[in-house]
């Protein structure tokens, strides 16, 4: 029995910051970001948007696109590292938002949960739902990857920001992709990228030694959460390389394949924290699978030879045919954490739809990564009716309609100083208010739908 993605939809902010604008204001040579990293635009959340609105919009598009009845949807699993609450999951917000459209309690028998493991959480959600459908082939599940990749102003990660949501319908006998059972896994507990709770004493903040009550906090310690991560870029990149190479080798064992497995793939889909990350890191796997080719390169050591190999015709040809299609949307949107690998999938399928490629029964290879750290490698086969689904998405057309913002607007949005949305919400869910007065509802987030 085949199990996989039956349909796919997405939601991204309507505004973006041109990378040229960021480079100019940060005194960075633009070509280092554009030609060096493949970055062109950076999608950014408007005032009324968050991961809940994007996830809800993507789910609604998916349900309406496939004319689904809420009673058909047995679970909605969310992959995110941008949760808006430490207890209440994004999935519960999405469910209640959808009930605004489909009726009160219309999703009462739908299981919802969030899965968090940095940028691989949505892959975990996908595989959980694939197993669920294998056991319950008449049921349907929705997996949503929804994230806001936000970094500190003037940080080395600032130009890799982005936001977006991808929703996927998981069924038996899918129209788009069917996944194999085998999965390669590599895990190690590291601090390459994380979002800690930061603790400060009241004496530090309030300049008071007698521990006064402050906004309902009786403890002498105040916890602060930042959306922006603590990270070590070079170390994280090395962890990425270590995990994907380990997971790739484990996948070969699990799937009982020998030789160059990637040569059986027609597309290579990787987590893209920035557009060119895939092509810059897959070279490690390529080199291990082609030791003679690596050794024949000019250089005094393996590191120098690897750099030369990355510019070889053999490797550049692989990038052009198997990685580049996944980069197109990434360069126009930026990093969307858990959704990046699935944005790459959608970008690849939209590219091949435009090229009228014959992908039926071709294999796609997935190389996922999440900081902290974990990688998973697995395969999927493209189904015969993939074009009928992908032509509904209009991904590239939507990207062309996005509106550029100036640098001042960007900084005001980043610091949450803007008083009104850049573009008023239309045909979408939006954050209506956050409760600030009712003591038993402090912090409750309320959403509405604007026609």
pLDDT in tens, 58-78: 999 999 999 999 999 999 999
Same domain, yes or no, for 138 and 264?
Answer: yes
The pTM (predicted TM-score) of the whole model is: 0.97
Same domain, yes or no, for 149 and 200?
Answer: no
pLDDT, tens only, 362-421: 999 999 999 999 999 999 999 999 999 999 999 999 999 999 999 999 999 999 999 999
Neighbours of 362 (CB within 10 A): 16
Same domain, yes or no, for 222 and 336?
Answer: no
Same domain, yes or no, for 421 and 275?
Answer: yes
Q: How many domains does the chain have?
A: 2
CATH of the domain at 44: 3.40.47.10
Same domain, yes or no, for 317 and 431?
Answer: yes
Judge contact between 343 and 336, C-beta under 8 A.
yes
Which of 149-158, 205-214, 331-340 shows the lowest per-residue confidence on average (mean pLDDT)?
Answer: 205-214
Instruction: Give the contacts of 85 (CB within 8 A, at least 6 positions apart).
Output: 443, 445
Same domain, yes or no, for 283 and 330?
Answer: yes
Strand partners of residue 193: 231
What is the model's pLDDT at position 208? 79
| Segment 210-234 mean pLDDT | 89
| Segment 271-289 mean pLDDT | 98
Neighbours of 71 (CB within 10 A): 12
Same domain, yes or no, for 111 and 221?
Answer: no
Same domain, yes or no, for 201 and 271?
Answer: no
Domain that holds residue 209: 195-229
Same domain, yes or no, for 91 and 211?
Answer: no
Residue of 337, 26, 15 lying closest to 153 (CA atoms) = 26
Q: Helix, strand or coil for residue 255? A: coil
What is the model's pLDDT at position 273? 97
Same domain, yes or no, for 181 and 201?
Answer: no
φ, ψ at 93 (rounded to 5°):
-65, -45
With vertex at residue 383, the alpha carbon angle to CA 382 and CA 388, rounded to the nearest 5 degrees, is 110
Same domain, yes or no, for 49 and 112?
Answer: yes
State which of 205, 229, 253 marks the end of a domain: 229
State which of 229, 247, 278 marks the end of a domain: 229
Same domain, yes or no, for 13 and 129?
Answer: yes
């Amino acid at each position: 029995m085949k199990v996989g993605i039956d349909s796919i939809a997405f939601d991204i902010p309507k505004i973006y910051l041109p990378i040229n604008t960021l480079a100019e204001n940060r005194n960075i040579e633009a070509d280092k970001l554009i030609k060096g990293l493949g970055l062109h635009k950076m999608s950014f959340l408007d005032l009324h948007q968050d991961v809940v609105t994007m996830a809800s919009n993507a789910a609604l598009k998916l349900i309406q696109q496939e004319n689904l009845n809420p009673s058909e949807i047995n679970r909605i699993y969310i992959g995110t590292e941008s949760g808006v609450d430490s207890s209440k999951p994004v999935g519960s917000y999405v469910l209640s938002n959808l009930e605004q459209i489909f009726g009160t309690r219309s999703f009462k028998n739908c299981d919802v949960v969030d899965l968090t493991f940095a940028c691989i959480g949505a892959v975990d959600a996908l595989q959980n739902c694939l197993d669920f459908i294998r056991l319950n082939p008449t049921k349907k599940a929705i997996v949503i990857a929804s994230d806001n990749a936000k970094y500190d102003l003037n940080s080395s990660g600032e130009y890799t920001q982005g936001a977006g949501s991808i929703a996927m319908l998981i069924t038996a006998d899918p129209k788009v992709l069917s996944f194999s059972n085998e999965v390669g896994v590599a895990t190690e507990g590291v601090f390459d990228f994380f979002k800690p709770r930061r603790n400060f004493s009241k004496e530090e903040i309030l300049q008071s030694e007698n521990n006064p009550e402050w906004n309902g906090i009786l403890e002498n310690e105040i916890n602060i959460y930042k959306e922006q991560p603590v990270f070590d870029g070079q170390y994280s990149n090395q962890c990425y390389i270590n995990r994907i190479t380990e997971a790739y080798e484990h996948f070969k064992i699990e799937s009982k394949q020998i030789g160059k497995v990637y040569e059986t793939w027609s597309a290579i889909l990787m987590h893209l924290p920035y557009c060119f990350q895939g092509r810059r890191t897959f070279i490690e796997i390529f080199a291990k699978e082609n030791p003679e080719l690596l050794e024949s390169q000019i250089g005094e050591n393996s590191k120098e030879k690897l750099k030369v190999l990355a510019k070889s015709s053999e490797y550049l040809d692989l990038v052009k045919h198997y990685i580049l299609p996944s980069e197109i949307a990434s360069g126009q949107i930026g990093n969307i954490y858990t959704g990046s690998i699935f944005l790459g999938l959608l970008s690849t399928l939209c590219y091949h739809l435009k090229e009228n490629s014959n992908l039926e029964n071709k294999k796609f290879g997935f190389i996922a990564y999440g900081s902290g750290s974990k990688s998973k490698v697995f395969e999927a086969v493209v189904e015969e009716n993939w074009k009928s689904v992908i032509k509904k998405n209009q991904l590239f057309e939507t990207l062309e309609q996005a509106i550029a913002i100036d640098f001042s607007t960007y900084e005001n949005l980043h610091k949450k100083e803007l008083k009104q949305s850049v573009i008023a919400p239309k045909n979408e869910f939006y954050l209506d208010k956050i409760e600030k007065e009712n003591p038993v509802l402090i912090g409750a987030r309320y959403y509405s739908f604007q026609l």
